[in-house]
């Protein structure tokens, strides 16, 4: 319920024989739907012929049975689900990108955000490049195809292009004969691969998508690694590995990823339970029941209840047939959707002192409404616990954390926020305890910059969006 937006999920299939790879991509993207709901696309590779379809909307709506039939069979496919931030939210910016270049063709899907996109784009534009979209995926495609002119293989071209990329990018790239998985050297976003019993390889942002197509998890792609799947088998290029400190986004565990995913050996569900247990130790309270805000606050609530000894209860029933709250643009529609989406189970909270656990608090508007709903249902006390520290700064690595002026923790003290949301007490997870969620000894191996403002890369001065939202003069 945090109101944060993940940008994307990526998926890839490689097989040595022709099969319904479009269907596999469809199921994989369906499992990754939580990572982006504004547009989606699939490209099928049928012996070097790329058939593709992409559009705005969720996977189930965009890929009807007829559309999947049209995509035909192939031995490879890649897919993408997307939430747009720097880009516009139209069909043109949907991914995967498909490009025809001097040496052939390529399809590419990306999850992340480059911190040097404006400079790279300017450099290419001054060399005569023309862009059709505002997305990093098109920019990265340009750099790879340009490098491809001077290299003998697509993987070498990717390796060279990576020298210029700064920030977060997680790619699946498909050439006529190869499927390639790439993770940036700091590993901001997750990426893993697995294999089905028939030998088909699957690449996905999260392991839950491997499960959805019956593939067994093999391993995570390492930060900086390029993994190539072709008829010869699997090869890797590690020229960009171990050059930088890993900075996997801690918010993948707290909110973005599905609880049934395992990222870098850590169960997302277990990480969230640990966040709840830490909260119980940091912010204990006398109460009768612990409830969670569905869905991403539930695991932390279970952890809080187990640690505190206070019984866990189901406090809200969620209408599952509505998109995540954040899909709706604008404050008004967001609020309306919260009311429609969650209904209080008054039998759990009436005449009780309630601890309500949410994954995080961004603007504070959603949790304020939830507190009111609990009081209206007869809760005698409402104690709010956030499984994330207070948000203080924006994210430059592919998450749409709200602007500083909208972050409630930037404008108010803890006591003020507690009053604003009308809670009896309020407690956030301590930023220094984030490492405990994933069994690290300290906070050095992951990104948590939106809670501190200390970034592991340069910070971009402007965005591509800035450039296109300014009016051009008549002369131009």
**Residue 437 sits in the site that holds ligand SF4 (CB under 6 A):** no
71 touches ligand SF4 by CB under 6 A: no
Minimum CB separation of residue 56 from ligand SF4 in Å reads 24
Question: Structure tokens of 291?
Answer: 């409830």
143 closest CA partner among 104, 187, 99: 99
Applying CB under 6 A, which of residues 83, 142, 193, 251 lies at the interface with ligand SF4? 251
Q: Which one-letter DSSP state was computed for residue 322?
A: S
Distances (CA, A) of 460 to 37, 117, 402, 456, 463: 26, 8, 16, 12, 7
Nearer to ligand SF4, 71 or 437 (CB): 437
- Our finding on whether 449 is near ligand SF4 (CB under 6 A) is yes
Interface characters, 284-303, with ligand SF4 (x: CB under 6 A):
--------------------
Query: Of 34-42, 48-56, 201-209, 248-256, which part binds ligand SF4 (CB under 6 A)?
Result: 248-256
Q: Residue from 174, 249, 280, 388 that binds ligand SF4 (CB under 6 A)?
A: 249
**CB of residue 249 to ligand SF4, shortest distance in Å:** 3
* 85 touches ligand SF4 (CB under 6 A): no
CB of 456 to ligand SF4, least distance (A): 8
**CA proximity to 292, closest of 337, 259, 248:** 259
Q: Is 395 in the site for ligand SF4 (CB under 6 A)?
A: yes
Closest CA to 286 of 308, 307, 306: 308
In this structure, are residues 19 and 185 in contact, taking their beta carbons and an 8 Å threshold? no
Name the one range near ligand SF4 by CB under 6 A: 210-218, 288-296, 324-332, 391-399: 391-399
Give SS3 for 95. coil
**What secondary structure letter does DSSP report for 173?**
E
Q: How many residues contact ligand SF4, by CB under 6 A?
A: 12
DSSP3 helix / strand / coil % (the chain, rounded to 5): 35, 25, 40
Distance CA 476, CA 470 (A): 12
**Which of the stretches 54-62, 363-371, 441-449, 467-475 binds ligand SF4 when contact is defined by CB under 6 A?**
441-449
Before 96, cis peptide (omega within 30)?
yes
Region near ligand SF4 per CB under 6 A, out of 58-66, 191-199, 316-324, 447-455: 447-455
Candidates 161, 409, 447, 464; binder of ligand SF4 (CB under 6 A) is: 447
Active site residue 447: no
Choosing from 94, 448, 457, 460, the residue that interacts with ligand SF4 (CB under 6 A) is 448
Tokens of 381: 């006390």
Under rule CB under 6 A, residue 271 binds ligand SF4: no
**Residue 467 to residue 117: CA distance in whole angstroms:** 12
Question: Minimum distance between the CB of residue 97 and ligand SF4, rounded to whole angstroms?
Answer: 23
From the CB of 13, what's the least distance to ligand SF4, in Å? 27
Residues from 152 through 211 that contact ligand SF4 (CB under 6 A): 188
Provide the token pair at 393: 């700064």
DSSP SS3 for 89: coil
Tokens 């005569």 appear where?
Answer: 128
Q: Which of 93, 450, 457, 460 binds ligand SF4 (CB under 6 A)?
A: 450
What whole-number distance in Å separates Cα of residue 189 and Cα of residue 212?
Answer: 20
Residue 140: partners with Cβ closer than 8 Å, 6 or more residues away: 108, 110, 114, 161, 165, 169, 171
Stretch that binds ligand SF4, among 16-24, 149-157, 307-315, 396-404 (CB under 6 A): 396-404
Distance of CA 40 to the CA centre of its chain: 14
Is 399 near ligand SF4 (CB under 6 A)?
A: yes
Pair type for strands 353-358 and 381-386: parallel
362 vs 450, which CB is nearer to ligand SF4? 450
Output DSSP code: residue 253: I
The reply to whether 409 sits near ligand SF4 by the rule CB under 6 A is no
Please say whether the beta carbons of 252 and 199 come within 8 A: no
Q: Does position 115 bind ligand SF4 by CB under 6 A?
A: no
- Per the CB < 8 A criterion, the answer to whether 79 and 2 are in contact is no
Residue 250 interacts with ligand SF4 (CB under 6 A)?
A: yes
- Which residues in this chain contact ligand SF4 in the complex, by CB under 6 A? 188, 249-251, 395, 397, 399, 401, 447-450
Active site residues: 8
């Amino acid at each position: 319920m945090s109101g944060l937006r993940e940008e994307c999920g990526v998926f890839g299939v490689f097989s040595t024989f022709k099969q319904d790879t479009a269907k596999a991509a469809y199921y994989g993207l369906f499992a990754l739907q939580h990572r982006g709901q504004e547009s989606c696309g699939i490209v099928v590779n049928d012996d070097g012929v790329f058939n593709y379809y992409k559009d705005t909307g969720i996977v189930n709506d965009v890929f009807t049975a007829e559309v999947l039939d049209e995509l035909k069979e192939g031995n490879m496919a890649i897919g993408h689900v997307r939430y747009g931030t720097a880009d516009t939210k139209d069909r043109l910016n949907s991914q995967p990108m498909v490009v025809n270049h001097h040496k052939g063709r390529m399809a590419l899907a990306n999850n992340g955000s480059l911190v040097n996109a404006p400079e790279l784009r300017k450099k290419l534009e001054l060399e005569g490049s023309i862009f059709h979209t505002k997305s990093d995926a098109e920019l990265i495609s340009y750099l790879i195809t340009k490098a491809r002119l001077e290299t003998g293989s697509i993987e070498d071209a990717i390796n060279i292009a990576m020298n210029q990329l700064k920030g977060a990018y997680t790619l699946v790239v498909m050439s006529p004969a190869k499927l390639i998985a790439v993770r940036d050297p700091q590993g901001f976003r997750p990426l893993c691969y697995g294999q089905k019993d028939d030998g088909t390889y699957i690449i996905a942002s999260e392991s839950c998508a491997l499960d959805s197509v019956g593939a067994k998890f093999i391993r995570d792609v390492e930060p900086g690694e390029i993994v190539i799947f072709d008829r010869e088998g699997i090869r890797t290029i590690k020229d960009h590995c171990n050059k930088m400190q890993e900075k996997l986004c801690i918010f993948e565990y707290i909110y973005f990823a599905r609880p049934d995913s395992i990222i870098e050996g850590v169960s997302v569900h277990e990480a969230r339970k640990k966040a709840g247990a830490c909260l119980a130790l940091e912010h204990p309270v006398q109460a009768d029941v612990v409830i969670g805000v569905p869905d991403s606050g539930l695991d932390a609530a279970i952890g809080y209840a187990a640690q505190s000894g206070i019984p866990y209860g189901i406090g809200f029933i969620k209408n599952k047939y509505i998109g995540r709250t954040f899909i709706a643009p604008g404050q008004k529609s967001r609020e309306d959707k919260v009311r429609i989406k969650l209904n209080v189970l008054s039998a759990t909270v009436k005449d009780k002192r309630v601890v309500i656990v949410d994954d995080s608090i961004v603007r504070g508007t959603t949790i304020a409404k939830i507190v009111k709903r609990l009081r209206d249902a007869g809760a005698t006390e409402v104690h709010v616990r956030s499984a994330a520290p207070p948000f203080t700064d924006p994210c430059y690595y592919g998450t749409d954390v709200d602007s500083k002026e909208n972050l409630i923790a930037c404008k108010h003290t803890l006591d003020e926020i507690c009053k604003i949301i009308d809670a009896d007490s309020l407690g956030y997870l301590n930023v220094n305890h984030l490492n405990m969620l994933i069994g690290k000894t300290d906070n050095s191996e992951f990104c948590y910059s939106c809670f501190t403002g200390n970034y592991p890369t340069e910070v971009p001065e402007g965005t591509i969006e800035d450039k296109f939202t300014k009016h051009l003069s008549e002369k131009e």
